[in-house]
Amino acid sequence: MASRNRKQLQQQKRLGNQMSSRINLIFAVIVVLFIILLLRLAQMQLLDKTFYTEKLTATTSYTVKNSSPRGKIYDAQGTLLVDNDIKEVVSFTRSNFATAEEMKKTAWALSALVSYTETNVTTREKKDYYLADSANYQAVLDRLDKSKKFDKFGNRLAESDVYANAVEAVTDEQINFSDEELKVAYIFSQMNATPTFGTTSLKTVELTAEQIAIISANKDLPGISVRSDWERKNIAQSLSPIIGKVSSEKAGLPAEEVKEYLAKGYSLNDRVGTSYLEKAYEDTLKGTPKVRQITVDKKGTIVDDNETQSGSRGKNIKLTIDLKFQEGVEKIINQYFLAEKAEGNVELSEGAYAVALNPHTGAVLAMAGLSHDTETGEIVQNALGAMTLVFTPGSVIKGATIASGYENGIISGNQILYDQAIQFAGSSPIKSWFTLGSLPITATQALAYSSNTYMVQIAMKMMGQEYSPGMILSTSGLDSAMAKLRATYADFGLGVSTGLDVPGESTGYIPEKFDSAAILTESFGQFDNYTTMQLAQYVATVANGGNRIAPRLVQGFYDTDESGNLGNMIEEKGPNTLNTIKISTDELEIIQEGFYDVVNSSSGYATGKAIGEGAAVSISAKTGTAESYVTNKSGDSIYTTNMNVVAYAPSHNPKIAVAVVLPHETNFNSKASHLMTRDIINLYHNLYPMN
């Protein structure tokens, strides 16, 4: 018994010791934790005092930008072409306290004062508008599955995730709004997209003086005011396609170029040039935005509002085109095309195009075109077609073929070759329009008479082959010969970028695959295709002595005078010489002599005499035809020809170079393109005497 009691006492003692050890351990842990807490408090109050003080007094800064009007665009004579339409508009400035529900109420309240017009609202914008009502939002939340609001641990998801799930849960029936409510939703969507402290012009009908006064005096429309805003306004419709477009404030930056523009300091809703001149000269035309730096404290109270950059309008640009000459050129090509249409000669023609350049500076003097729908017969102006549409040039490019012969040592001087039928074994003969037998002609005569066979013999010699009747044309030297021809053509601007100072020009249609027959037709302009602008650069290069100069539409940059009109020149754009052709002055003069004889030779073979009849000045030119079959509405294959002309004047002191393209004529005796060319040069002479 005593032994059992002793064991119990020993066991109780062990348990007591264990309990005491545990209590001591717990007490030690508490002491350590308390010490750590004291040390942490000491660190926060002493070492990190500045950090936590800054946290308590932290502020948030907002950079706010307001756009300034773009620069204006004028023609060569200072006639205003593109202006900014300044008008008073309803604007909304979003405060840092604005809620979606408040903005929705404001949109409805404003609708009682002004008329809304737009109903173009996306599905997402409709849903945002619906959920802006707190009752609607709560009702949608109540219907959401628990997993759409909480994670697997029961914690509420981020509010942005919950809202996204709510948006997804809104049904089509709930956003089936009337047109009137869609108009309010459109205004709300503009407000909702406005960044904090940003200002947006709301799309309403034009304000009356009474509405301006009422809105300005109304204090119950938070963020709403009246301010001056601008919209781009094209005055001269003739040049509007070349000038291009500017994005709206809602569209803002083009999606494919957002990163590039943001890197330059643009805002997402900035209006920018999206095409042609407006896009090419964006950096010049854009205004400098007014920039404010707004700072708010943790409670959202504004503590600082500084203007860090005062806004200013963009620079103005003056074009090289005189609107009066441009409209005159359009009238000329319309007149002759309509006359041909009345005769039934252009049912299959895509239209007519003309470009006029200053051959020494590259200044575009006119760039005109009309597009003809061969299905409906509709005719519309299409100036852009002069740089975007390609056509088979025909014999107008024979000057470049002669130059390639010189450059590659194939011919020399005013060399004589025989115009004769080129007959290969098993194929139809290649002839010039005047080929009868075997006629010795010089290089100048080959141009004046437009000899196909002279050019074919140059191409064959480039291939390392001499012509003999009935021979089989080998593929030997084919690739090398084509490369040589195209290289020379490129030096004249054919088949390459002209360097035009607006985006979007075509570089032509230059097939990669070709056979031996292709190089022969290439030599007289019936294989590769070019734009009217390329043909104009080519003839300008002949006219100015061999310098290929980039065509340009802009003459210079200008400031604005005190009256808001064109001010002083800031910078003038000079000629940009891209390359010089690789032949001697004497060789180029032979080509120029050939161009002169096209119009002025007494020979009955000269192809361009109609150009000189009634001309006010001496004209040099090269005519061209390019034959092809075109299918008409009835499915018949009709034989047609492109009637093209390149020219410059005056012949011995050129001031203007012109290219005219009239595709798919069915009257092979038509002189319409010749007369267009003459009249364009005469018009220029009347406006700017060239003697």
b/e sequence 355-377, b meaning 16+ C-beta within 10 Å: bbbbbbbbbbbbbbbbbbebeee
Answer for the pair 68, 312: CB distance below 8 angstroms, yes or no: yes
450 classed as catalytic: no
* DSSP structure class, residue 688: S
Nearest of 73, 100, 161, 233 to residue 555 by alpha carbon:
73
Helices 323-342 and 672-687, axial angle in degrees (round to 10)? 160
Question: How many of the other CB atoms lie within 10 Å of CB of 686?
Answer: 12
Query: How large is the angle between the packed helices 398-407 and 585-600, nearest 10 degrees?
Result: 160
Pairing of the two strands 656-665 and 637-649? antiparallel
Beta strands in 151-297 (DSSP E): 199-201, 224-234, 290-296
> Residue 54, exposed/middle/buried by CB under 10 A (0-12, 13-18, 19+)?
exposed
Nearest-angstrom CA–CA distance, 191 and 99: 10
Name 290's bridge partners: 66
Is it true that the peptide bond before 663 is cis, omega within 30 degrees of 0? no
Q: Among the options 68, 189, 395, 451, which is catalytic?
A: 395
What DSSP assignment string belongs to 132-191? Answer: TSHHHHHHHHHHS-GGGTB-TTSPBPPHHHHHHHHHHH--TGGG---HHHHHHHHHHHHH
Q: CA nearest 346: which of 668, 669, 666, 672?
A: 666
Q: What H or E segment, with its residue span, contains residue 351?
A: strand 351-357
Bridge partners of residue 110, in order along the sequence: none
Q: Which residues are catalytic?
A: 395
